[in-house]
Structure 1
Amino acid sequence: MSSVKHFQVTFDCAEPERVARFWCEVLGYVVPPAPEGFATWEDYDRSLPPEDRSAWFACIDPTGVGPRLYFECVPEGKVVKNRVHLDVRAGAGLVGEERLATLQAECDLLLALGASHVLTQVADEENESCITMQDIEGNEFCLA
């Protein structure tokens, strides 16, 4: 039997640092320390050849539990729905009106950070409420 593998989630984007910092706010993640020998990430970036500057950025779970998020610059923009998305579990364990109110409050905070609201799905006989959103570059995610 194989062991559990560590993994990172990679986002293609136009502005890696901007999108990474958005997700730091959403998830409570942090920017990792700059590489050894550099006081800041800006110092590290300036040390690279011009064509490699601002090509990527990352953020990590400060508890070490969640996966690393990696953001890489790509030339093309997003054109279709994501095949994989993140569920931000802001309402875990809550049901009914309490869940919906908690999700809506989180949605309001994320709208202030530049996210977009796509769809609010209200609980029915089979599913609890969730809110579909997009990050600052249009990547879909759900508040669940």
Structure 2
Amino acid sequence: MTGPEPSRGPGAALVGIVLVSHSAPVAESVAELARGLAAGGPLSPVAAAGGTAADGLGTSAERIVAAAREVDRGAGVALLADLGSSVLTVKALLLDDELPPGSRLVDAPFVEGAVAAVVAASSGLPLGEVASAATEAYAYRKT
């Protein structure tokens, strides 16, 4: 599901970011890292949605929906998922229209993509460009 791209400018809403992991501590740590690296100006809203309702390893649709609603400011929500059932759960929520309008699953590496997405969103870029920045993180070479 996608919505219209917002206009840029002072006071424009920022794209929200949701980090979906099988582990609550992993999602929270990646969110903290991304916020820290994007600091220095307005910061896009970022929420971690990790683990199950019983605080175990796994994926919780309820936590994902709550996190997406928490960060939704009307400019879209980019969701990055770590693997397996977290991806499938986000896809199912999108198909069932359970996420805010303008929500999008972004195909990106979890850590590098999260940092790129938060930096891009905090710069005021629209959802499509935030998604592109996160996806481009696949090309980051370490050698």
TM over 0.5: no
Higher-helix-fraction structure: 2
Structure (1 or 2) with the larger CA radius of gyration: 1
Q: Specify which structure has the bigger relative contact order, considering alpha-carbon pairs within 8 angstroms and separated by 6 or more residues.
A: 2
Give the TM-score, by structure 2 length.
0.27
Higher-strand-fraction structure: 1
Give the TM-score, by structure 1 length.
0.27
